[in-house]
Copies of this chain bind each other. A is one copy, B any other.
Amino acid sequence: MIIQLSPNVTSEEKKAILAKLDDLKIKANIVSTQFKNYIVGIPKTDFDIRSIGTMKGIADIHCVSDAYKLVSKKWKVNNTIIDLGNNVTIGGKELAIMAGPCSIEGEKQIEHTVQHLLKNNIKIMRGGVYKPRSSPYAFRGMGMDGLKLFYKHCSENGIKVITEVMQVSQVEEMIDYVDIFQVGARNSQNFNLLDALGSVDKAVLIKRGMSGTIEELLASAEYVFSNGNEKIMLCERGIRTFENAYRNTLDLNAVPILKEKSHLPVIVDPSHGIGLRQHVATMALAGVMSGADGIIVEVHENPEIAFSDGQQTLYDGQAESLYKKLRATKELVNSF
């Protein structure tokens, strides 16, 4: 059960509502986000919603039977649109395109990428500075030095920054240099990290775990929302199956199902989703056709010498051709 509190709810009214819930043996979770105030009630048994609904201080009340509550479409029918400022939004009619290298490698690379994005009217740049790597001996990213350079060049050019955060202590460190925090597939159920990201006012993109179910992805988003942050995107990036002809199995079924179950924007990552450069563009387009609100894609001036993920990274020219097709495809979807 989700209780939306009135904007001008008094502390007396709030107390009365909590007392009532206590009476009904409903566990109450108080949620205050950057936008609104809610109480999420977890009842142990059936109860009559009318006994609460008429109380003062309540704007609206909804039963949500799903395991996830605040991220469910059952109480919020309209799709969430995330506003990053400077007219950059995610979740509306326009396709959000996020492009850039797997890893931030240095200033020259950043400058080159920014020019590429400006030329193609792309408003969000991706790039990792903390890299989760299977082996401790692999390149683990440029860290804060890289991030500061990354953010400087982007913010000077009106481009938003998305980058991966790997642990709680990094959130505070990174917050001034990030527009969207990315939670990687390996951290999709790192609940402490999700808690921490719920208490900041920055957009969060959560990648589905390698063997994460759609339910689990929504539950992870619930962690962020219930800690106070409504700016959440869900990202399908391929799951792990028996097939070895490619890197991951891009599960486009997940897109319409996530859009049906949740009001949150859904982003598709075709680079990790298939992992083979020659097919990334095709799967990006299929992702848009499946209903994605955005695409996150790896592009590099020279993928052959990229520090990581080169085999799935587009050349600039390939990316430019893709951007045009993505927009044409989104236009067709909008016309349906």
Question: B325, A213: Cβ atoms under 8 Å?
Answer: no
Is A113 engaged at the interface, CB distance under 8 Å to the other chain?
no
Q: Contact at A241–B244, with CB atoms within 8 Å?
A: no
Docked pose: A68 CA to B137 CA in angstroms: 9
* CB-based contact B213/A244 at 8 Å: yes
Chain B proximity of A308: nearest CB distance (Å): 14
Q: How far is the CB of A189 from chain B (nearest CB, A)?
A: 4
Shortest C-beta distance, A248 to chain B (Å), equals 8
Please give the count of copies of this chain that the complex contains: 4
Knowing A245-B215, A249-B251, say if A256 contacts B239 (CB, 8 Å): no
A279 to chain B, nearest CB (A): 4
Shortest distance between the CB of A134 and any CB in chain B (Å): 5
Q: Quick one: which of A246-290 are within 8 Å of B by CB?
A: 246, 249-257, 260, 273-274, 276, 278-279, 282-283, 285-290
Q: Are A189 and B189 in contact (CB under 8 A)?
A: no
* Alpha-carbon separation in the docked complex, A214 to B274 (Å): 14
Report how far A187 CA is from B189 CA in the complex, Å: 8
Given A242-B242, A246-B253, A290-B286, CB of A192 within 8 Å of CB of B214? no
Q: Once the chains bind, are B242 and A257 in contact (CB under 8 Å)?
A: no
Question: A68, A243, A245, A274: which has the most chain B beta carbons within 10 Å?
Answer: A243
Q: What is the minimal beta-carbon distance from A213 to any residue of chain B, in angstroms?
A: 6
Q: Quick one: which of B168, B209, B253, B291 contacts A250, CB cutoff 8 A?
A: B253
Chain B CB within 8 A of A122 CB: no
- A166 interfacial by beta-carbon distance below 8 Å: yes
Known interface pairs A67-B135, A282-B291; 8 further A-B residue pairs with C-beta atoms within 8 A, sorted by A's residue number: A132-B191, A135-B219, A136-B226, A241-B251, A245-B257, A250-B253, A286-B286, A286-B290
Q: Which 8 A-B pairs have the closest CB atoms?
A: A211-B211, A289-B289, A286-B290, A186-B189, A167-B192, A256-B279, A214-B245, A211-B240
17 A-B pairs within 8 Å (CB atoms) are namely: A132-B191, A140-B191, A210-B210, A213-B244, A239-B249, A243-B254, A246-B253, A249-B249, A252-B286, A253-B283, A255-B282, A257-B279, A285-B290, A286-B286, A286-B290, A325-B336, A329-B332
